[in-house]
A and B are shown apart, each in its own frame.
Chain A
Amino acid sequence: MTTPIIQFEQVNKWFDQFHVLRDINLSVTAGERIVICGPSGSGKSTLIRCINRLEEHQQGRITVTGVELRDDTRSTEAVRRQVGMVFQQFNLFPHLTVLENLTLSPIWVGKVKPDEAQERAMQQLQRVRIAEQAHKYPLQLSGGQQQRVAIARALCLTPQIMLFDEPTWWNWPNKASPCCASLTKWDLHARWQTG
């Protein structure tokens, strides 16, 4: 059996007095795809946001790509480089062009040269079939286009793990939309969704 890439051991989390995550035990191996289902407010988003420590847990252990998530910024930033996330509201940076959204982290965090980062970003944009919008600003795009940019942005970090918070594109009428087609072809080790 391979070592799990994500491991939750007896994880508990409270929002004030509200006990949102209760004794979560979970282990995900590389390559697994998991959908987390549940009613609204049941803690789906909170669970996946614990994986890249956008939420802190109060009890238990979470280990991601072999690093335990604790209260120090070093380990948190190390894990975040391995974890891509697509938000429900996409959270694109409205003051940067689509291309700049994609190259921001590779240039400033990954220390990639700007030319190379742009080249890689264009490849990701072509993959989600939105390369022609590279020099527009996010608010000039439609919702669906913004979502594809958000996916491309997360992929630019070449993450081992992808997290999708409420990926509503799963419900798009046209199953053969370019975005979904390319998603199924991903060679990612693990893919996570809530919804």
Chain B
Amino acid sequence: MSPSSTPDCAHAAAALVPPRSAPNHARGLRQWIRTELLGSPMNVGVTLLMTALLVWQLPGWVSWSMVNAVVQPDADACQTARGLGACWGVVSEKYRLILFGRYPFAEQWRPLVATLGLLVLLVASCMRQCWHRGLVVAWILGLCGFFGLMGGRLLGFSVGLTPVSTDQWGGFPLTLMLSTLSIACAFPLAVLVALGRRSDWPLVRAVCITYIELVRGVPLISVLFMASFMFPLLMPPGTTPDVLLRVLAGITLFSAAYLAEIIRGGLQAIPRGQLEAAASLGLGYWATQRLVVLPQALAHVVPGIMNNFIAIFKDTSLVTIVSLYELSGAMGLAVNGDPNWRPFKLEAYLFITLIYFVCCFAMSRYSLWVERQVTHR
């Protein structure tokens, strides 16, 4: 552009400084305490306040939950320790009822194996090393195995185990299966509905908007109620699908509407230029959505999607109202019906809280990992 730029460049080149390694800022614990906890008068104040709170509250908690707690399943010992220590005995006594609900006691190895298998599949699906075609096969086999083990029969054929009807399924296996399947079905449906709501075709758009608005307008509990009690009344007798399937469809359709709106938020953040670039490269509608738009849109809304997944996981507890005793329902079943243990419902609640927390926390950490994987800058 200007002739003066050449000598400037020559000068800069002559004084070129060789690269050096970046300064090391690794610091010790002492340094961290000094800057992070005692860095300013405000920090000192907050640190003192939090320490005081801990000193005040922690000993009480420790003595209640550990020192004075009763661990063995002894209702009388629990009664004497009442008010002083926790009664973990209720968990030792009832854990099988809490974890597996009304499933026949002698057959409870089946839900245990089925649940462990499903957990292994879930963990494997979360790992990048396992993302190839074999995983699809593993899922098909895994789900057949799950339902075969749980029900004792598969698609009407006996698998050599005592049949257990779905209304006897319960506890954690039910929670895990309902949330896994409704998440797995709701997500693709939500992507389609989100794309449909932005479609150029008025009919597709109208259908998607109607679906979203209708579903968002009712509480999940009434959707489950409809699926469980109203739906069979509308169907010809003998053609009603299994209650589990109806409930699963209800949760899926309900969650998909919310998920669709989250995903639509992500779609709206994609600049027009991305679509134009894809168009100029000759990509059609579906290729553009799949290769260019959705990978970016979904990456934008990972926190929102995971929020929804966690909500689905916990919302499965509502199926109790249609007499399916999943984890929280099974806990109620286990403790409410037994006058010896009913006073210690709090401890039983803490036990299932721990299970819910471990699952939700794992999901939330996984979402952070996914976020890191999809950020490229």
Contact = CB atoms under 8 A, between A and B. Distances in A.
B160 interface: no
Interface of B: 1-2, 5, 9, 271, 273-274, 276-284, 287, 291-292, 295-296, 299, 374, 376-377
Interface string A140-181: 100000000000011001000000000000011110000000
Interface string A103-144: 011001110000000000000000000000000010110000
A95 B298 CA distance: 11
B374 to A, nearest CB: 7
A173 B8 CA distance: 12
B266 to A, nearest CB: 12
A87 B277 CA distance: 8
Given A104-B281, A153-B281, A157-B281, A93 B287 contact: no
A190 interface: no
Contacts of B273: 87, 89, 91
A174 B5 contact: yes
B280 A84 contact: yes
Interface of A: 52, 54, 73, 77, 80-81, 83-85, 87, 89, 91-95, 104-105, 108-110, 137, 139-140, 153-154, 157, 171-174
A2 B278 CA distance: 32
B292 A93 contact: yes
A157 B278 CA distance: 12
21 contacts: A52-B280, A73-B284, A77-B284, A80-B280, A81-B282, A89-B273, A91-B277, A93-B274, A95-B296, A95-B299, A104-B281, A104-B291, A105-B283, A109-B281, A137-B376, A137-B377, A140-B376, A153-B281, A157-B281, A173-B1, A174-B9
Contacts of A93: 274, 277-278, 292, 296
B376 to A, nearest CB: 4
Contacts of B280: 52, 54, 80, 83-85, 87, 154
B274 A91 contact: yes
A117 to B, nearest CB: 13
A42 B271 CA distance: 23
A101 to B, nearest CB: 9
Nearest to A49: B276
B375 to A, nearest CB: 9
A182 B283 CA distance: 27
